[in-house]
Structure 1
Amino acid sequence: MKLGTTLFLKMAVILIGIPVLALCIFLVPGIANFATELYPDMAYLKYLVLIDLYASAIPFYFALYQA
């Protein structure tokens, strides 16, 4: 019983983390490019968006690790 429950919880944590990782890889650069297209005179905005979104993923993965 314990092994099944532990395995289920591990798989649940992995299945929660994979979509967020995919979003960080594929969607975040697109959002940063979109922000640059909206405000072309502020080219540094792309890097600020990237830093902010990736920095918000770090506590998420830390919480998943703690779970």
Structure 2
Amino acid sequence: MSAEENLKTEAEDIISDQINMEEETNVKSDLETEPVILNPIEKNELTEDEMEMKIKEIVNSLKKF
């Protein structure tokens, strides 16, 4: 695996972790203020283009190090 592929994989993992933490925070705050409503549609779901842009931003910021 090339260094760029490693960076991309690491960036994807970081984004996934951040999204998961954000979702957990949202769930915690929602539980404090709202009744639980099971909904299969995620509120914070990113489009593929948005995910690609975030990956590129992270890869570019990692290249600076």
- Bigger relative contact order, structure 1 or 2 (CA pairs below 8 A, ≥6 apart): 2
TM-score w.r.t. the length of structure 2 is: 0.49
Structure with the higher helix share, 1 or 2: 1
